[in-house]
Amino acid sequence: MNGQNSTPKDSPQQGSNGNQPGRLALGKKSEIVSNRGSDNRMIRAEEFDQPVILQQPSIWSRAIAMGIVGVTVVTVSWAALAKIDEAVPGQGQLEPQGAVQPIQAPISGAVVEEIFVKDGQSVKQGDLLVRFDPSQGASELRAAEQIRDSLLRQNQFYQSQLSGASALSVSELQKLNLPPEVLSLTQNRAALLEENRLYQVQLGGSSGSLSSDQQARLQAGLAESDTRAAAAQLEVSQLQQQLSQNQAQLVSARQSLTIDEKIYADLKPLLDDGGISRVQVVRQEQAVIEARAEVDRLTQEGARIQYQITQAQERLANTVAVSGKDLLDKISENNKQIANIDSQLNKAILDNKNQIAETEKRISDAQLIMRYQELRAPVDGIVFDMQAKGRGYVANPSEPILKIVPGDGLIAKVFITNQDIGFISEGMHADVRIDTFPFSEYGDVKGTIVNIGSDSLPPDQEYQFPRFPVRIEIDRQVINVKGEEIPLQSGMSISANVITRKRSVLSIFIDQFSRKADSLKTVR
């Protein structure tokens, strides 16, 4: 019959399944009845499917699956709720809040006698820093005053010579301590002036302006012109003889020098080979030095004699010339020489004035040294960059002996790139790490931004990017190192992290994913 189920066959299957918990037996029976033709035959077909057995998973599998799901839910929840600090990095160094006070010597040449402070030491206003050697100032003052007085006397003498005053005696000239070349100029000038007066008289001028001594010389000159000429010639001859002797001595000295140098050159390799002692070589070297000195002395003496010969020949020529034209020519030539000498004397006066001005400054500096023998602290602060290391240091007024950082504390100055400056504002907190003290061991110093530069700084050798200066006020001026508080110092390099906001961990991952996704748009 169509639509009937066979219950007797289903019941045993169910009974057997009931004895095994956790298993389910399924049977399917289909019955098809077909009527074909008029014979009204019934074909019955039954088909039973094979049973399918479903078994529940074990407890460990379910626990692992539930654990993975739970960890995922907790992680995502933590990433969505947990907040972390987002910071902008910057590098820089510690600087004093106030202006650094350079401590300089009042004058140049001051010699340090004693130093009372050292780098890193705290000082109060008025504390003694450095004391200078007073004896150096006194000796410098005496020496400078002697030089100034000598230069003043020389200038007075030059001025008197230019105004036509009579020549001084040899002893008086020695007291002036004149340079040899200037002394020779003044003597030549006096001689030329005297010759011109005599020439004027010989030309018919009045001898009333001549002194009695000059008149006597004129008479003697007129009466004994031939004798003077002979004497002048004799002087020239004697000087020439001296020059010849000098030249002979110079030739001999040069030969000796050549021999000594050759001996020294021969001995030097023997010393290197160990053939002779160093004493022999040193003695031979000393002989070479002495021979050279002798050659130099004879050369200078020859030049002096040659100069004297030239002067003697000029005097001889002046003595021989007797005609009026010759006298006028000589007067004109003498005037040219006098003008040249006057020019050199004026130059010597100007040089002396410059030296006097420099000497006056030395005197003033020496007086300052004696007046200001101590340097004291102008402000409260900490000493650093000490240049004077000990006694005997010579101070230079253009360079500070030491510097004082004002006691109002240090401030951190860092540079932020122009890409990050938009997130920075005054009042934000920052973590300042001192590069000298590793963060993992000594921690950091907290700070607050107090100032942001209004304009970016251009790239330079140290920073290859545009940057904005940011000043951070730190909450303490010391750092704890093994239980001891070490004061921070100006110039220490630092790195700072400016805390801009708090972000969830999930937003950071989403931001990174978005960037990666955006980068795929540009892939070709």
CA-closest candidate to residue 341, choices 191, 154, 151, 174: 191
Domain count, the chain: 3
Q: pLDDT at residue 432 above 90?
A: yes
- CB distance 498 to 447 below 8 Å: no
Stronger pLDDT, 87 or 108, i.e. the higher one:
87
pLDDT by residue (tens digit) across 171-191? 666 666 777 777 777 777 777
237 and 293 part of one domain = yes
Write down the pLDDT at residue 388: 83
Where residue 468 falls among pLDDT bands split at 50, 70, 90?
very high
Q: CA-to-CA distance for 5 and 17, rounded, in angstroms? A: 19
* 501 domain residue, yes or no: yes
Write down the pLDDT at residue 39: 45
351 and 432 part of one domain = no
- For residue 216, the enclosing domain spans 137-359
Question: SS3 string of 326-372?
Answer: HHHHHHHHHHHHHHHHHHHHHHHHHHHHHHHHHHHHHHHHHHHHHHC
* 382 domain residue, yes or no: no
- CB distance 48 to 26 below 8 Å: no
Q: pLDDT at residue 8 above 60?
A: no
Q: Mean per-residue pLDDT for 458-477? A: 88
Where residue 208 falls among pLDDT bands split at 50, 70, 90?
low
Q: pLDDT at residue 1 above 50?
A: no
Q: Mean per-residue pLDDT for 17-35? A: 41
92 and 214 part of one domain = no
Of the ranges 11-15, 116-120, 217-221, the best mean pLDDT one: 116-120
Give the position of tokens 């002692």.
277
Where residue 449 falls among pLDDT bands split at 50, 70, 90?
very high
pLDDT by residue (tens digit) across 162-174? 776 666 665 666 6
Where residue 223 falls among pLDDT bands split at 50, 70, 90?
low
* 125 domain residue, yes or no: no
Average pLDDT of the chain to the nearest whole number: 76
153 contact partners, CB below 8 Å, separation of at least 6: 175, 176
420 and 335 part of one domain = no
* 400 domain residue, yes or no: no
Write down the pLDDT at residue 493: 92
351 and 481 part of one domain = no
pTM, rounded to two decimals: 0.38
Strand partners, 87: 499
pLDDT by residue (tens digit) across 487-506? 888 788 999 998 887 766 67
* 275 domain residue, yes or no: yes
Radius of gyration in angstroms for the set of CA atoms belonging to the chain, rounded to a whole number? 56
pLDDT by residue (tens digit) across 263-307? 888 888 877 777 778 888 788 888 889 888 988 988 998 888 888
Q: Mean per-residue pLDDT for 316-334? A: 68
* 398 domain residue, yes or no: no
Write down the pLDDT at residue 52: 53
HSE, side-chain direction, 13 A CA sphere, residue 522? 4
Stronger pLDDT, 485 or 229, i.e. the higher one:
485
Q: Mean per-residue pLDDT for 4-20? A: 40
301 contact partners, CB below 8 Å, separation of at least 6: 246
90 and 39 part of one domain = no
Write down the pLDDT at residue 471: 92
231 and 321 part of one domain = yes
pLDDT by residue (tens digit) across 376-425? 888 888 888 888 888 888 888 788 888 888 776 788 999 998 888 888 88
